[in-house]
Amino acid sequence: MAKISAGGGSPTLMGGDFGAKWLSGMGIPELKKSPTGMERGCTEYKEELTRNRLVRTLIERKDPSSKEVDEPTIRRFLHARDFDISQASAMLLKYLKWRRTFVPNGFISASEVPNQIAQNKMFLQGSDKKGRPIAVVFGNRHFQDGLKEFKRYVVYGLDKTCARIPPGQEKFIAIGDLEGWGYSNSDIRGYLGALSILQDYYPERLGKLFIVHAPLVFMTVWKIVYPFIDNKTKKKIVFVENKMLKSTLLEEIDESQLPEIYGGQLPLVPI
């Protein structure tokens, strides 16, 4: 039998069929039980597994070598394409083809990018509060010295950075330091090439990009590059005012992990 609890106002019915019939007879619609957080989590997990399996089936059908692709990679490509299975599969197949041709040995060696390394413009050390490795790039040390080698260097740097991402984390953060940047450092083709590599072949790897010490003259180049940045990446880019530099970085990075040049304790370590 249904139980009715007292306490004023409308009676609270407790009991399956009788309660439902009583509500219906009174013209009151039966309330549906909302799913719990755990139930929603289980549903989302099952949906993710289904999407991953569908993507894997599609890519293995067209490229047998894709059997080596792990689940986190499939998930990143799905996320980059708003969980559209067809688009994510096409993007992943494009990546696999590119990787075989551009990185045939599976990695870029230092001997393939000597001129870029000599510019001493990229550093990698420390982790932010989420465990994401930190890359620091100095724009005033970059000079046009062959687009093909520069693209190889971008892959060289991204691979080394991603190799430092710990289990359970999938992203890195970067600090783009533009102090002293001038037109002699401007390289539109290089910037667009690097952007294309990051967005097309390393989706959902960038967690955040802090652009610091940006001179006014840089904004001329930024206006050219900005339209080519996808919306997901745009949301990860933060221009930091000089007076807010240390406090902004400390929101994401402990002082013990912050480079010395930004008021932290870690010396810069070349990649």
In the chain, what are the domains? 40-102 (1.10.8), 110-262 (3.40.525.10)
Of 20-34, 106-120, 206-220, 241-255, least confident by mean pLDDT is 20-34
Residue percentage of the chain with pLDDT more than 90 = 78
Contact 55, 70 (CB under 8 A): no
Q: SS3 string of 106-117?
A: CCCCHHHCHHHH
Residue 13, pLDDT score = 38
Residue 162, pLDDT score = 98
Residue percentage of the chain with pLDDT more than 70 = 85
In this prediction, residues 51-60 reach a mean pLDDT of 94
Residue 253 has pLDDT above 80, yes or no: yes
pLDDT band at 95 (very low <50, low <70, confident <90, very high): very high
Q: Give dist(CA 141, CA 184) in Å, integer.
A: 10
Kindly give, in sequence order, each residue whose CB lies less than 8 Å from that of residue 226, ignoring residues fewer than 6 positions away. Answer: 234
Residue 57 has pLDDT above 60, yes or no: yes
pLDDT band at 74 (very low <50, low <70, confident <90, very high): very high
3-state SS assignment for residue 139: helix
Contact 153, 117 (CB under 8 A): yes
What is the overall mean pLDDT for the chain? 88
Residue 65, pLDDT score = 86
| Strands 12-14, 133-138: pairing kind | unpaired
Residue 5, pLDDT score = 35
Residue 10, pLDDT score = 39
Residue 26, pLDDT score = 47
How wide is the angle at C-alpha 190 spanned by C-alphas 87 and 164, nearest 5°? 65
Which one, of 116, 221, 192, lies nearest residue 160 by Cα?
116
Residue 137, pLDDT score = 98
Of 37-41, 55-59, 144-148, 193-197, least confident by mean pLDDT is 37-41
Residue 8 has pLDDT above 80, yes or no: no
pLDDT per position as a tens digit, 138-190: 999 999 989 999 999 999 999 999 999 999 999 999 999 999 999 999 999 99
| Strands 172-177, 206-212: pairing kind | parallel
At residue 137, φ and ψ (nearest 5 deg) are -125, 130
